[in-house]
Structure 1
Amino acid sequence: MIDNLAAYHFVAIDDPTAVADWLRALAEAGELRGTVLVAPEGINLFLAGRVEAIDTLVDAVRADPRFATLQIKRSRSEAVPFARLKVKVKSEIISFRRPDAMPLAAPARAPDVAPEDLARWIAQGHDDAGRRLVLLDTRNREEVAHGSFAGALTLPIDNFTELPDALVPHRDALRDATVVSFCTGGIRCEKAALWMRADGMNNVLQLDGGILGYFERVGGFGYDGRCFVFDDRVALDPALRPLHDGVEAA
């Protein structure tokens, strides 16, 4: 059985190339495949391999004080859903190109809502203060096609950088709602929530851990379909089972 790791962490990195080389060495030592992104704002990991190898890498990464609080999401598959290991140094670990959405520059992380609380709000039809609830999908149309929260506001975007312009026609209609932004694992909705709050939308929260965190802690309540993932499994159902179980390359 193969273990699949997804994790990101925003933290200042003065030496992204050195960190990338270190992560590459850790991944290669465990014969892991997947994608590692390193930027001055943090790290973003999608890796797969033996359970013991994933454990070893996570322990080594968390031993570095910069990544001690790294939060991870894990799922299983029959085969490795990546053809090879890719390690890249980027300007952002998720490109948004909005200086007012940089977590390290913000005075605080955008407020979040726990999956268990969101499930309760969905069941109620409003938040705990009685405000109507709007779920905002920050993913692109290809991802949304595999599934989303029932009744969520989805946007006709192909890239995350298009989200601000696509949101403009909806802003007035969102003013009296509690808006919960969500994405696959949390990284995009974290930046999106920061940008929206900086842009005057103080009624925006982010779903802690994204869809995968919701599946892990709550299941599929209120969600229709599967969650697209960025590997050969294509999409995961609320039990974190893949649509396609990636086939190892020869």
Structure 2
Amino acid sequence: MDPVLNISAYLFTPLTDREQLRETLLARARAGNLKGTVLIAPEGINLFLAGDAVQVRGFLHELRRDPRFADLGAKESWSADQPFRKMLVKLKNEIIRMDHPAVRPADGRAPSVAPDVLRRWLDQGHDDEGREVVMLDTRNAFEVEYGTFTGALDWRIERFTQFPAAVEEHRDDLAGKTVVTFCTGGIRCEKAAIVMDDLGVDHVLQLEGGILTWFEQVGADHFEGGCFVFDDREVLTPQLRVPEEFETRREPRRSALA
């Protein structure tokens, strides 16, 4: 097994002590020789970290001792090398920017569908109530180029802030269908499903855990290509590995979370 453990995690939970939290998490990460990016906003936390497995899991264990982060889940993958060059903890207005302040996932999650249930729906061609299932990619257009669900809708947005307007434009096309929003790890799906419900789209669900959880629990079924990730690895296959053509490529495409 490759020696470097990579984790991605997020949680919508109100945070009022961001400055103090930033200093605590930065010191803890550096003590464990971890690298990556942690975003802290009033609405919650979003993090991508990599390092020795004992240190990474220890970081998560300490974080979860804070009751606000007790429910923080993490997705794991492995790499031969450290995919991050620095350890950054940043204060942001949102952990995923949408510029839609009425959307508050911490006040209540949008309904979700588990990967195994969704696979059954896609296999049979409809959900359990007989409605057509439409997969909606909420990621930015350049991410979609690396891979997506077969037949998924892609509205070619360049920034997540454009998503609400795209919903308004395409809302009528979704009538009478079950819409499943998805993204890399679930964070954009949370906000996307809520804003769609607010804008009057019925039968909207989010894919629980996003593409990375789909890869972990289902694999390559109904998915074409790989999943873009915001570190030096650039893309992961459905086996949660770096494709051979990227293994020796160490120049990062992007240096920050988006």
TM-score where L is the length of structure 2 = 0.93
- Matches for 1:1-250 after TM superposition, within 5 Å: 1-104=3-106, 106=107, 108-243=108-243, 244-245=246-247, 247=250
| 1:99 partner SS | coil
Percent identity of the aligned residues? Answer: 51
Shift of 1:100: 2.6
Asked if 1 retains the 8 angstrom alpha-carbon contact of 2:175 and 2:202, the reply is no
Asked if 2 retains the 8 angstrom alpha-carbon contact of 1:113 and 1:205, the reply is yes
Asked if 1 retains the 8 angstrom alpha-carbon contact of 2:176 and 2:202, the reply is no
Q: Distance in 2 between matches of 1:133 and 1:124?
A: 10
Q: Distance in 2 between matches of 1:86 and 1:25?
A: 11
Asked if 1 retains the 8 angstrom alpha-carbon contact of 2:137 and 2:182, the reply is yes
Q: Distance in 2 between matches of 1:99 and 1:19?
A: 23
Q: Distance in 1 between matches of 2:136 and 2:217?
A: 20
* Counterpart amino acid of residue 109 in structure 1: R
Q: Distance in 1 between matches of 2:66 and 2:167?
A: 38
Q: Distance in 2 between matches of 1:156 and 1:178?
A: 21
Q: Distance in 2 between matches of 1:141 and 1:46?
A: 21
Shift of 1:99: 2.0
TM-score where L is the length of structure 1 = 0.95
* Counterpart amino acid of residue 212 in structure 1: L
- Structure 2: give runs of 5+ residues left out of the alignment: 252-258
Q: Which deviations, in whole Å up to 9, do the C-alpha atoms of 1:47-86 show, x marking residues without a partner? A: 0001111011011011111101111000000001111111
Q: Distance in 2 between matches of 1:115 and 1:84?
A: 33
Shift of 1:247: 4.9
| 2:162 partner SS | helix
* Counterpart amino acid of residue 36 in structure 2: G
Q: Distance in 2 between matches of 1:160 and 1:195?
A: 12
Aligned length: 247
Q: Which deviations, in whole Å up to 9, do the C-alpha atoms of 1:120-178 show, x marking residues without a partner? A: 11101111111000000000110000000000000111110011222333211101100
Q: Distance in 2 between matches of 1:190 and 1:102?
A: 9
Calculate the aligned-residue CA RMSD, in Å: 1.5
Asked if 2 retains the 8 angstrom alpha-carbon contact of 1:80 and 1:247, the reply is no
Asked if 2 retains the 8 angstrom alpha-carbon contact of 1:7 and 1:71, the reply is yes
- Structure 1: give runs of 5+ residues left out of the alignment: none
Q: Distance in 2 between matches of 1:247 and 1:174?
A: 41
Q: Which deviations, in whole Å up to 9, do the C-alpha atoms of 1:72-129 show, x marking residues without a partner? A: 000000001111111100011110011232213x4x2100000111111110111111
